[in-house]
Amino acid sequence: MSDAREIALEEVTVRLDGRSILEGVTVRLDARRIAVVGANGSGKSTFARLLNGLATPTSGTVRVHGVDVGREPRRARAEVGFVFTNPDAQVLMPTVAEDVRLSLRGSGMARAELDARVAEVLADYGLTSHADAPVYSLSGGQKQLLALASVLVRRPRLVVADEPTTLLDLGNAQRIGRILLDELDAQLVLVTHDLELAQRCDIALRFHEGRLVAVGEPAEVVDAYRREYA
Amino acid sequence: MIALHVPGDSVLHRAPAGIKLLALFVLALAVSLYPHDLPSLGAAVGVVVALHLAALLPPTTLPKQLWQTKWIVVVMVATQLAFLTPWDALVNTVRVVSIVLLAGLLTLTTRSEDLLEALETGLRPLTRIGVDPRRVGLTLSLAIAMLPVVAGIAARVRDTERARGVRLGPRLVVPVLVLALRHADDVADALTARGVD
């Protein structure tokens, strides 16, 4: 990956079963914290999924930090972490520590180094005492923390989070928001319905019916979005 | 029955996973082949109890594990009584329950990642005929992790059924299957996103 912290979409269109999901999206972004807002079905999740190759453009190109995601999806995924809305869909292993270790599978790290990295991440997110616990015994907030830990243990350069606080209570939502916005070193693309969180980002994008309709100062983009439903 | 790992420091916890897997195989073979007499049955039950004691697990563990085999016992006894003598039905049921309890003890005293690592090592010679041991290990891990998820889906569908005042009966399987398949799609996405596809 190049050093440039740039996400670049060039005339990206996504169609599914003849239906347009995204239409002609062109944008270049190098801000550290990027908020993505819009109504359900507006195309914002598809935009997020394009960034690590979970969705494929019907036409156009997606480049993340210099890598063409369509041509080199594995290389892109190695650098782009993805946090899903529902941690139940993201947490894949029977116990907490195993799930974090899964992310380092095939990394070539020595066992001692791998153990240390897993222990460090579990401690960072307050999960050390749950290391050997079955994942189904965790609360929703703890599961989302685990999902985040499993992404961040790979030290991605870009984290894409698709409505990561939607299913959480206020306390857990605030904690996840704080980690993503204040503690993360990586670049962040945050798809969210939480407009307070969106306003704390450096730039905001708004999608409407598959089109990118606004890019700019979060406060302005969010205000315009609110006015539309006032 | 999925008995998840209970951390501990017993001899059984410390023993290498590969050795325990091999021991389970040998014990299962011995239990399957022992003669149909009372001393042999007593020996099988004795081994199961002794190993559980050696594992220094909470005292309620063995009764709980035994209770979880209740449906195996019911189905085995009921079907065998139709064709065999009560003694043969008892012998066969004790055999199977003993093996299930020993397998449960293996998972209780072994972290599943150690177990899968041992399994992957054991399967390595099969790479020559195209078997990918890592993929087999991952598949087994996923299967273990997905059982509570599917149970959760079934519970959710039952709650919805009650909340809406309808009784789906055997048709309950349809929404459970649809939701499970949708979850499978999500899992596929997660595997891809996490770079383990």
pLDDT at B6: 82
> Does residue A57 belong to any structural domain of this protein?
yes
Name the closest residue on chain A to residue B108, using Cα atoms: A132
Same domain, B92 and B134: no
Q: Exposed, middle or buried, B138 (CB in 10 Å: 0-12/13-18/19+)?
A: buried
> Does residue B121 belong to any structural domain of this protein?
no
Whether B145 and A135 lie within 8 Å, measured CB to CB? yes
Residues from chain A contacting residue B112 (CB–CB below 8 Å) = 93-95, 98
Q: Closest Cα of chain B to A73: distance in Å?
A: 9
Range with lowest mean pLDDT among A66-70, A84-88, B163-167? B163-167
Same domain, B29 and B70: yes
Same domain, B26 and B93: yes
Interface residue A230 vs chain B (CB under 8 A): no
Surface of A (39-78) touching B: CB under 8 A: 52-54, 74, 77-78
- Quote the number of domains for chain B: 2
Give the integer Cα–Cα distance in Å for B166 and B158.
10
Q: Give the alpha-carbon dihedral of A192, A193, A194, A199, to 10 degrees.
A: 70
> Does residue A26 belong to any structural domain of this protein?
yes
Residues from chain A contacting residue B183 (CB–CB below 8 Å) = 88-89
**CATH number where A63 lies:** 3.40.50.300
> Does residue A33 belong to any structural domain of this protein?
yes
- Report whether pLDDT(A69) > 80: yes
> Does residue A117 belong to any structural domain of this protein?
no
End residue of a domain, out of B69, B84, B110: B110
pLDDT at A45: 94
Same domain, B92 and B149: no
Convert the pLDDT of each residue in A140-188 to its tens digit. 889 999 999 999 999 999 999 999 998 888 888 898 999 999 999 999 9
> Does residue B1 belong to any structural domain of this protein?
no
- Quote the number of domains for chain A: 1
> Does residue B122 belong to any structural domain of this protein?
no
> Does residue A135 belong to any structural domain of this protein?
no
> Does residue A131 belong to any structural domain of this protein?
no
E strand residue ranges, chain A: 7-16, 19-29, 33-38, 59-64, 67-68, 80-83, 158-162, 187-191, 203-208, 211-216
Of B4, B1, B2, the C-alpha closest to B110 is B4
Same domain, B102 and B158: no
Which residue range(s) make up the domain with A185? 7-90+159-228
Same domain, B27 and B99: yes
What is the phi-psi region of residue B59: left when phi exceeds 0, alpha when psi lies from -120 to 50, beta otherwise?
alpha
CB nearest to B4's CB, from A54, A106, A134 = A134
> Does residue B116 belong to any structural domain of this protein?
no
Query: Does pTM top 0.80 for this prediction?
Result: no
- Give me the tens of pLDDT residue by residue for chain B, a chain 197 residues long: 455 678 888 999 999 989 998 999 999 999 888 777 888 888 989 999 999 999 998 889 899 888 988 888 888 888 898 888 898 888 889 989 999 999 889 988 988 778 888 888 888 888 899 888 888 888 887 887 787 788 888 888 888 888 888 887 888 889 899 999 988 888 888 888 887 76
Sheet arrangement for strand A59-64: A19-29, A7-16, A59-64, A67-68
Write the ipTM. Answer: 0.79
Amino acid at A166: T
Residues from chain A contacting residue B187 (CB–CB below 8 Å) = 89, 92
Same domain, B90 and B156: no
Is residue A163 within 8 A of residue A135, CB to CB? The reply is no
Cα–Cα–Cα angle for A22, A23, A29, nearest 5°?
80
Which residue range(s) make up the domain with B26? 11-110
Residues from chain A contacting residue B149 (CB–CB below 8 Å) = 88, 136
